[in-house]
Amino acid sequence: MRVHQLERPLVRSLVQAVSRGTAELDDDAVARIFATATWSVLVEPGDGVAGLLLESIGADRALSMLIEGRPPGDWLAASVDAGSPVELGLADVAAACERWRPRLSSRLVVAALRAAVQCRAGFVTPGDAAWPDALEVLGAHAPIGLWVRGSVGALDHPGGAIAIVGSRDATNYGEHVAMDLASGLSDRGFAVVSGAAYGIDGMAHRACLASRGTTVAFLAGGVDRLYPAAHHDLLLRAAVSGAVVSELPCGSSPTKWRFLQRNRLIAAASHATVVVEAGQRSGSLNTAGHAAALGRPLGAVPGPVTSVTSAGCHRLLREFDAVCVTSVADVVEMVLGSPDARPVGASTTSGAAPGATATGRAGERRSADGPDTTRVLDALSSRSPRGVADLARRTGMAPRAVAVTLGTLALDGGAYENENGWLRM
């Protein structure tokens, strides 16, 4: 990849637009922001190797090295030169470069920036004043940058933020409780964070907006595609006073893997997470697992033991030591009353660890089979055959890793190959 001479004014104007500052950026700033945006296109969420290398040697230099095809030893040497040697093996770096390279194209980055400008999304990077410090708890798994529609200030709300999440198949009871909690917490000055899904998430955003509060929606795809479609208007309204956020560049579609990774952002960006209603397989249990692993207070709303949509909440109370919350006051007490009392887990959240813990026994079977399988299945279609190179780009994985995973899937009956490529079973 190379930014051609002709493209430079275009890149400058796009970067200037997404960086949202009024002052004109200097060349270094443009290069840095463009490189960071490029990394946001190259890697899948939660890529710890990218996190470590970019933190150590900078997005700009790392991008040059990737373009130049430098061997793993050079990367490690660069991190020593930079004064912060990374703890990675040569094989880790080699595997990472292999999975990043298939997406290395300035066309993709320019398209992402263009789409961002079109929907008026900003791009916030760790150096910026608006960057939410709460995400630092993710360590090497923190996002490379955030694409934001609406107010970047909502990301670091002065009153604090609380995640309210739960089942898509919510009951009237669950929606009623979500509404009470979201409006009550908004009234007390908290921002309400959620995932924009049907059911509990949607009700949390809606009730917060009805109370004239600040709500933040984290999406699993690009912020130019407001998903789910039925929440398009709701998300537009969220972006007026609050924000709609994603670590994925515009144009990205949501995948199972990205939903699971998006959940870590909801948990990390919030002072506490409350699960209102959740079946045994609800994705909100994954968010809860992240909150617990990050040492953030985790609350669960109980319900009738005869209701399947409360079974996940009860499991959080039993197995994750979640706090039983029944009212706004309970949530406030959980947030303000000695959060240090909760044992703090690992300071980094790998994609698999807390997710696997939270959904391990009850999660969908495919997610229990490991992250690579999930990602390849996400990228496979049951109608259009796809080749390994195509799948490598779509998944952000190395072609060889894709091939290995396809082999396993073929044995398990999850995928098959015809003359034109691979298909989902």
Q: Which is nearer to a copy of itself, 81 or 321 (CB)?
A: 321
Q: Cβ closer to a copy of itself: 91 or 305?
A: 305
Residue pair 222/249 in contact (Cβ under 8 Å)? The answer is: yes
What are 110's two structure tokens? Answer: 């320019």
> How far does Cα 287 stand from its chain's mean position?
11
Q: Which residues bind a copy of itself (CB under 8 A)?
A: 173, 176-177, 301-306, 310-311, 313-314, 317-318, 323-327, 330
Using left for φ > 0, alpha for ψ between -120 and 50, and beta otherwise, residue 123 falls in: beta
Report whether 261 contacts 229 (CB < 8 A): no
Q: How far is the CB of 267 from a copy of itself (least distance, A)?
A: 21
Instruction: Confirm if 220 and 259 have CB atoms less than 8 A apart.
Output: yes
Question: Which CB sits closer to a copy of itself, 116 or 170?
Answer: 170
Smallest gap from Cβ 407 to a copy of itself, in A, equals 39
Nearer to a copy of itself, 31 or 178 (CB): 178
Q: Is 297 helix (H, G, I), strand (E, B) or coil?
A: coil
Q: Least separation, in Å, of the C-beta of 367 and a copy of itself?
A: 24
Instruction: Give 212 or 318: the residue with its C-beta nearer to a copy of itself.
Output: 318
Q: CB of 311: closest distance to a copy of itself in angstroms?
A: 7
**What residues are paired with 33 via a beta bridge?**
none
Q: How far apart are CA 116 and CA 15, in angstroms?
A: 10
Cβ closest to a copy of itself, residue 235 vs residue 323: 323
What is the DSSP secondary-structure string of 218-268? E-SS-TTS-SSGGGHHHHHHHHHHSEEEESSPTTPPP-HHHHHHHHHHHHH
Kindly state the smallest distance separating residue 20's Cβ from a copy of itself, in Å: 42
Least separation, in Å, of the C-beta of 326 and a copy of itself?
Answer: 4
DSSP 386: B
Q: How far apart are CA 101 and CA 396, in angstroms?
A: 9
Least distance between a copy of itself and beta carbon 312 (Å): 11
**Which CB atom, from 243 or from 285, has the smaller least distance to a copy of itself?**
285
Structure tokens at 59: 């997005």
Contacts of 12 (CB under 8 A, 6+ apart): 25, 30
Q: How far is the CB of 180 from a copy of itself (least distance, A)?
A: 9
Q: How far is the CB of 341 from a copy of itself (least distance, A)?
A: 12
Bridge partners of 415, per DSSP, are 424
Compare residues 317 and 376 and give the one whose CB is closer to a copy of itself: 317
**Collapsed DSSP state (helix, strand, coil) of residue 384:** coil
Phi (first) and psi of residue 170, to 5 degrees: -70, 155
d(CA 15, CA 12): 5
Residue 118 or 327 having the CB closest to a copy of itself:
327
